[in-house]
Homo-oligomer: A and B are copies of this chain.
């Protein structure tokens, strides 16, 4: 019995702007990402390997705002961040203020497993990536025209934006980036893992660190409770320690995962927060909760059937065959 849930950001295009063709592109990408993680789990792999591989695939896909396709700061550069956590040991790794690491999630895992640290940032983190033999890319690799233009439209203002706020002003294209990515999984041994990766918000301050980098805010995993990955306005998730709060509600109040996740998403209003989260627990139950119009997401529960969704209604795909 395994479960996997993923998100491609709570900054989904408003439904009024979504064409059938564009929706198709996102459903297909989410389905493909699910296949990556499911392949690891079906082969007896660990939840940690499954979430890392899935998030790396999402980072490589320019549709999503992480890795290739990241948002631009108001200084015109990408600053990426990622985190990963192992529910069995509560070891965790995070890497942030990255400009050239192709897959921030791989670096987060190396920090977790090859250093005594949890969080490593900036140039020193990229030097460590080189030492570890991870792939760096020239800054052009991360560039997408739509994301850069989105930043130019906001530059000179104090506004930042999830993609939904920006994309409506842009010409339609299949290449629009669309928010933080993340994955959570439980493997056949009952171990939980979570990972989150982000290219940040468009026109953000250079040097800004968001929830995707912060253990307890945008990511948490604990075998006794759940694995959680968040997306949305990171500051609200930081102030609530949102991912850890879901775990705390399960541990200390005895709530089920879905209820705990819904409560925390509801509380985002207390701090003007918008966004969402995906979670799994040890019984393979899945939670997908958000207070935005849409959240790109997908999941494969214990029945092995992949589902993808953008707004309320979900699409069920044929059982995974890898």
Contact = CB atoms under 8 A, between A and B. Distances in A.
Contacts of A115: 205
A127 B207 CA distance: 10
B205 A121 contact: no
A88 to B, nearest CB: 12
Interface in A262-290: 270-271
B206 A238 contact: no
**Copies of this chain, whole number:** 2
A210 interface: yes
Contact of A97 (B92, B121, B244, B249): B121
A240 B252 CA distance: 14
Q: Is chain A's binding surface mostly helix, strand, loop or mixed?
A: mixed
Contact of A240 (B90, B117, B123, B205): B90
21 contacts: A90-B271, A92-B239, A94-B209, A96-B121, A97-B121, A116-B235, A117-B204, A117-B235, A118-B238, A119-B209, A120-B207, A120-B208, A121-B122, A121-B209, A122-B122, A122-B207, A214-B214, A216-B216, A244-B245, A252-B252, A252-B253
Interface string A227-268: 000000011001111001100110011000000000000000
A148 interface: no
A92 B238 contact: yes
A57 interface: no
Given A90-B270, A122-B122, 16 more contacts: A92-B238, A115-B205, A117-B235, A118-B238, A119-B208, A119-B210, A119-B214, A121-B122, A121-B207, A124-B205, A124-B207, A125-B207, A127-B207, A128-B205, A215-B239, A216-B216
Contacts of A120: 205, 207-209
B119 A121 contact: no
Contacts of A252: 248-249, 252-253
Interface string A87-101: 000111010110000
A220 interface: yes
A313 interface: no
Interface in A100-146: 115-125, 127-128
A303 interface: no
A21 interface: no
A217 interface: yes
A65 interface: no
A241 B218 CA distance: 12
